[in-house]
Amino acid sequence: MNIHKAAIPVMLASLLAFAAPAIGEDLDGASLYAQRTCIACHGPDAKTPILPEYPKLAGQNPAYMLQQMLDIKSGARSNGNTPAMRGVMHLVTEDEMKVLADWISSLD
């Protein structure tokens, strides 16, 4: 069986998403990052992505990250890597994206 390498993180994320609590529940950035599967692709410290073509996020500007997440979710941002990320964006609300962006930007 020939599984394309880009499919592996998507499968990992789907497995994690299975255990995710209800959307809309009030969670802090670190909990959201772990429970909404971000950790599977972007790494525990948000700067060791599981594939080299995936972005490092730690310390990035929160306003930029929020905009990218919205654009990825809406489809306004679309390239060869976008489908992997878009596949999990139904797990996060815009409010949760803001909490995530603030928390990730605070990392070194």
Reported as half-sphere exposure (CB side, CA atoms, 13 A), residue 26 has a value of: 0
- Binding of residue 55 to ligand HEC (CB under 6 A): yes
Closest Cα partner for 100 from 2, 16, 28, 23? 28
Nearest CA among 97, 49, 43, 96 for reference residue 72: 97
Report the residue from 20, 27, 58, 81 that binds ligand HEC according to the rule CB under 6 A.
Answer: 81
Q: Shortest Cβ distance from residue 1 to ligand HEC (Å)?
A: 20
99 binds ligand HEC (CB under 6 A): no
Residue 11 and residue 5 in contact, taking contact as beta carbons nearer than 8 Å: no
Out of 22, 63, 68, 108, which residue is the one contacting ligand HEC (CB under 6 A)?
68
Residue ranges binding ligand HEC (CB under 6 A): 9-10, 13, 36-38, 40-42, 54-55, 57, 65, 68-69, 72, 77, 79, 81-82, 84-85, 88, 92, 100
